[in-house]
Chains A and B, each alone.
Chain A
């Protein structure tokens, strides 16, 4: 990961944020299985002569996260994998950044669509931006966190917990809120 970070030749924090997002979105891909569903399972097969292909209906159907170096090698990852990859590169480049786990809601209806992972990084002017790491191969713009968290996009990002290599923090009220929603859903 250090070698990837060094290759980016970022002169300052803002450049580092932009280049890390570029490499995350440009060089990685979102894994889909042959049914077109996200390949969330960690049983994978890669055929070099097919430029990578996941066969997820074979073997154990388990959910797991890839380590950033595993993502770098497989070149594929779901939200949490690419967010951890992006977050790690930013932290190596001394950027104030966190991997954030949260909920995605429809901005209009406020209905819960699912849970997601993204990266929040602080630019040199002190403003926080959201890095959406699951858009491939185009690089999405940096989104001011207020826009994403206040529902000014089509989907609303709601952060629940955030972490980097130094700390882990969670919004207890939100954890309880979403756990209640999930309990009702399961019941």
Chain B
């Protein structure tokens, strides 16, 4: 490593704060994936995540319907 070095305890807080933004993280990460020619993996993963979320929503909706129906049946039975 080169450059003027110091071993101070002062932490570059603004830089660490900037790292917390998911938008800049995506912009930077996309540029890195692009430079390594692996953007297709990201696109594939993104699609998979979308599909999983759809499945989760469907499963939640199905469960909610089942719960409603079951409650109605129980009420009628009483």
Contacts and interface: CB of A to CB of B under 8 A. Distances in A.
Interface in A87-105: 98, 101, 104
Interface residues of B, number: 38
B49 A36 contact: yes
Contacts of B12: 160-161, 170, 175, 178-179
Given A34-B50, A114-B27, A168-B7, A155 B35 contact: yes
B8 to A, nearest CB: 7
Nearest to B6: A172
B77 interface: no
A95 B29 CA distance: 27
A113 B28 CA distance: 5
Chain A contact patch, size range: 35 or more
A173 B3 contact: yes
B69 to A, nearest CB: 25
Interface string A129-169: 00010111110100000000000011100011110000111
Given A113-B27, A155-B32, A174 B41 contact: no
Interface of B: 1, 3-8, 12, 14-15, 17-29, 31-36, 38, 41-42, 45-46, 49-50, 52-53
